Amino acid sequence: MKRRLEKLMKLTIWVSIAMYLANKFVESSATFRHLLRVKKDSFYKWRHGKIYYTKTGSGSPLLLIHDLHPASSQQEWSKIIEPLSKDHTVYAIDLLGCGRSEKPQLTSYCNYLFVQLINDFIHDVIKEKTDVYATGKSGSFVIMAANMHSDIINEITLVNPESFGRLAVLPDFRSKIVKTALHLPLFGTFLYYQLVSRNQIEYQFTEKYYYNPFHLEDKTIFTYYEAAHTSQSGGRHLLAAISSNYMNFDIRNAFPKLTNPVHLIFGRELPDAEQIAEAYQKANKHTTCSFVEKTKMLPQLEAPKAFISSVTDI
């Protein structure tokens, strides 16, 4: 029995060492390209961590908020910031836990945390009523922020917002196990790096984000890969909350109360896009909708010219 325990302890030590070395190798190989450059004085010192943002152009303010994932960043908007900046002062942020923003070891990431971030950023940095574009799950933060403070948010554009049903899914026992595993220091880091590996990110783009995988550039994959690995494994705490449904919030009561003009933009080839659009339009009479042909989750990256046309036609 004693020998078995000794063997088990040795095996555990060697496995731990192997995981540690593998984690360090991934960290260094993911970030050596330095694709996510940081401009000086481009951080908003928020109470929960520093938020990276850029400011471009002149005109009425416009805030761009990327989809919620540790691999996402304002890179999502990189191909449309310049044309938008001709008529707007464009603010693009990396959300807490994403990109170049701080990635604190919070076990309490939740929807309301990001609602607070949006409200505080507009109040402290933009300092006037602003239009907002947001992708995917991040659209729910904007809806709740506008519901609470309609005086600081003007028109809202949601790119492929999640369905009401998906946003209403609550954490269950299985999802809580995933959350606990990702928070573990060594194993959680190892698991996180498998979930945000280069192959996994490329798979996401070819299967979900893009309609035509031949439009995908290597630089885009490597930028997302790097974003997931900045601040070592800090993004795993956010991914733990996302994977366990702690970032969900049922907006079926809040959305109909909005008086802000809301425009929805969907990738035509995204599954259930028309059904989701119909549900949003039925819920709020101020909602309009358009589709970008031959795109999926990220039309602003895959077909920037068509995306710009869809927003200028609003």
Q: For 262-271, what is each residue's pLDDT tens digit?
A: 999 999 999 9
The C-alpha atoms of residue 155 and residue 169 are separated, in whole angstroms, by 27
Question: Could you tell me the pTM of the whole model?
Answer: 0.92
Q: C-alpha distances in angstroms, 267 versus 11, 26, 167, 215, 310?
A: 49, 33, 19, 15, 11
What is the three-class DSSP state of 62? strand
The residue type of 247 is M
pLDDT band at 29 (very low <50, low <70, confident <90, very high): low
- Residue 188's pLDDT is 87
Give the distance from CA 174 to its chain's centroid.
23
Q: In what order do the strands lie in the sheet with 49-56?
A: 43-46, 49-56, 88-93, 60-65, 130-135, 153-159, 262-267, 287-292
The pLDDT, as a whole number, for residue 228 is 94
Lowest mean pLDDT, pick from 6-20, 95-109, 234-248: 6-20
Give the tens place of pLDDT for each residue, 58-95. 999 999 999 999 999 999 999 999 999 999 999 999 99
**pLDDT of amino acid 285:** 87
User: Has residue 8 got a pLDDT over 60?
Assistant: no
Strand positions, DSSP E, the chain: 43-46, 49-56, 60-65, 88-93, 130-135, 153-159, 262-267, 287-292
pLDDT, position 82? 95
Residues forming beta bridges with residue 102, ordered by sequence position: none
Count CA atoms closer than 13 A to 198's CA, side-chain side. 12
Q: H helices of 122-196, where?
A: 138-148, 164-167, 173-183, 185-195
